[in-house]
Amino acid sequence: MSAAVDGELTLNEQEGFEKHIMKCPTCFSEFKEAQKTKSIIKEKITRFKAPQSLVNSILKLTETPL
């Protein structure tokens, strides 16, 4: 369900999912509620730009072999 809400299904999976929710009122309702919840969260979230020093530190860690 979350993959469908997030648009992460393959075309084949999406088609199967849509067929199912058109026949299953319980899943259709759950899907609509999950979409609403995601929308509310997106509206309320505050994004911050990471300081460049933090970005540089993370990048440096990914370049260093363990």
| Inter-residue contact 5 to 34 (CB < 8 Å) | yes
Instruction: Say what the pLDDT of residue 14 is.
Output: 97
Rounded Cα distance, 17 and 54, in Å: 40
Domain range for 29:
2-63
Residues 25-61: tens digit of each pLDDT: 999 999 999 999 999 998 998 888 999 999 999 999 8
Domains contained in the chain, number: 1
Rounded Cα distance, 50 and 18, in Å: 38
In the three-class reduction of DSSP (H, G, I as helix; E, B as strand; rest coil), residue 65 is classed as: coil
pTM recorded for the entire structure:
0.66
> In Å, how far from its chain's centre is CA 13?
16
